[in-house]
Structure 1
Amino acid sequence: MHFDVIIIGGSFAGISAALPLARARRKILVIDAGERRNRFAAVSHGFLGQDGREPGLIVSEARHQLERYPTVHWLNAKAQAAERTSNGFAIEIDGKPMKEGRRLILAAGVADRLPEIPGLQERWGKSVFHCPYCHGYELNQGRIGVIASGEHSMHHALMLPDWGETTFFTNGIVVPNADQVAQLRARAVKVETTPVRKIAGDRADVWLDDGRIVAMDGLFTLTRTSVQIPWAEQLGCVMEEGPLGQFIRTDAVKQTTAKGIFACGDAARAAGSVALAVGDGALAGTAAHQSLMFGND
């Protein structure tokens, strides 16, 4: 079967991209590997009308609504590679025939790599977070720690006092200069320079190398991200380097630098959230549809 559009990724951005195409009665295929970025979080915040809901429920309900449209096909699988053909694109999937489509939308998101501190990964999405807008309010202005992972962590530390009493654990990664020390002091941020040994406890207590234990209600740290579609560059998509990792370069309507390929969601911006991913997907889906109507194959 040859599709009008193949969408790689069936989370917030991918489903949002699929919806306008389905409503235009275009034949589409969504290929989803089930690696939604916020699968570690119990609840999602900041998305209009869905604040405080479990993210998996939002996605499953959205998929159910999408699959009511008869031109939608869904495949639970991982896209291994893609190649350009005379009719568009062919997608390679493990153990299955190639899937072909005229347009391609990349919406598979990113993977997070946390600082290598024992106890951090196990608490990711529960008491260790990266986005204060998504998770800061629920800490009820309590004790918040920021674990440095790079120079951009300084900005992170300056943000967090709006959500609680903040301690910046520099962990040998960041050495604030005089101006930065003044900024941290002005924001009432405590600075702890002793290296972090591990994270333990029911929430996120910080164990330091000198034996002290600093009790925290929650921790924030910035991850390094990598695009979940490593073969995007092989198709001609230019990557950009953001403060936290690479992402796919797109224009104002989510067209990549490669003809016929669109990208949306966290894979296509330097930072992201559920709301931004959904908006990106809507742009990518409508732009892909209009390229089918008015573009040249």
Structure 2
Amino acid sequence: MNETEYEVIIIGGSYSGLSAAMALGRSLRKTLVIDSGKPCNEQTPHSHNFLTQDGKSPKEIAESAKKQVSDYETVHFHQGKAVDAKKTELGFEIITENDEKFHSKKLIVATGIVDEIPDIKGFKESWGISLIHCPYCHGYEYRNKKTGIIANGDKAIHISSLVKNLTEDVTILTRGKEVFTAEQKEKLKRNNIQIIEHEISELKHQNGIVESIIFSDQTEMNFDAVYGAFPFHQHSEIPKILDCEFTEFGHIKTDQFQKTNIPGVFVCGDNSSMMRSVSNAVMTGNVAGAIVNMELVTDYF
């Protein structure tokens, strides 16, 4: 094999991609990790709920992981963005934005998702810091604090039920007409959760730490933390290009072994799971790496 030919190409070099690379490196598989260096948790100051790494920054965890994976001599890294893919007789051809071409027998896509943050003043600057998405990842740090939830309907009920266990002071901000059922409204009333339907004009903050929300009627309410349930899209178009199937929520469909409907294509991490956490990304990446190795064993043995 030459420097453009590999047994496995992994697109995405964050937690799930590095986890898959470690499993493959330990099996001496010639592996290439292509990574653009744009993780979705770039702004997040601390990562939680992952044993041995609790409280460390996402960057610190990723750098440590890459250093460990780099010790395996069959794993190689390429800085760049994969933008196209083709099925070939021998496997796959991956093309980068600089028109570089790499080939592999198997493909793992670990590219994550992109949150579609509303274009509201203060949102992007606070995302991942005090405008947060997950009670499991960040809720403990904001326990017993005045908390807002930007969501509506079932999603708002789901998040508020989790957050209510962490703080008694919860307000739902629907950014428009609420769409709760009578049963849901009764549940919110029983738990003393207020609903505010006004559109949001601004999230006031200091270096990403929320201070208050300003509404379209110019009223203002102080908060210590705000949860946001926003739409997302896939970080990479390659699964779509290769005709992978997607769930109704926009995740890539996979079985318990991280296999897609396309033979030889595996996915792992946030692109294929509703559970967005470092631990889940590492677990699914490890499974993908192990099963890809097993397929190669079957092919060769």
TM-score (norm: length of structure 1): 0.94
Question: Could you tell me which residue of structure 2 aligns to residue 130 of structure 1?
Answer: 133
Per-residue CA distance 1:74-128 (angstroms, 9 max, x = gap): 0010001010111110100122531000000000111011233322111111110
Question: Could you tell me which residue of structure 2 aligns to residue 233 of structure 1?
Answer: 240
What do you get for the CA RMSD once the two structures are aligned? 1.5
1:156, 1:116 → 2: CA distance? 22
Contact 2:126 2:205 in 1 (8 A): no
Q: 1:86 to 1:289 in 2, by over 3 A?
A: same
Question: Could you tell me which residue of structure 1 aligns to residue 284 of structure 2?
Answer: 280
Question: Could you tell me which residue of structure 2 aligns to residue 90 of structure 1?
Answer: 93
SS of the equivalent of 2:41 reads helix
2:252, 2:263 → 1: CA distance? 14
Deviation at 1:70, TM superposition (A): 0.9
Equivalent residue letter for 1:31: I
1:151, 1:286 → 2: CA distance? 37
Identity level (%) = 33
Match of 1:224 among 226, 231, 235: 231
2:69 aligned with 1:66: yes
Equivalent residue letter for 1:222: A
Deviation at 1:174, TM superposition (A): 2.8
TM-score (norm: length of structure 2): 0.93
Q: 1:104 to 1:169 in 2, by over 3 A?
A: same
Q: 1:97 to 1:114 in 2, by over 3 A?
A: closer
SS of the equivalent of 1:59 reads helix
Match of 1:211 among 218, 223, 235: 218
2:149 aligned with 1:146: yes
Contact 2:87 2:93 in 1 (8 A): yes
Equivalent residue letter for 1:272: R
Unaligned runs of 5+ in 2: none
Match of 2:187 among 169, 183, 193: 183
2:255, 2:165 → 1: CA distance? 33
Question: Which aligned runs of 4 or more in structure 1 are off by greater than 6 angstroms?
Answer: none
Contact 1:197 1:208 in 2 (8 A): yes
1:132, 1:103 → 2: CA distance? 36
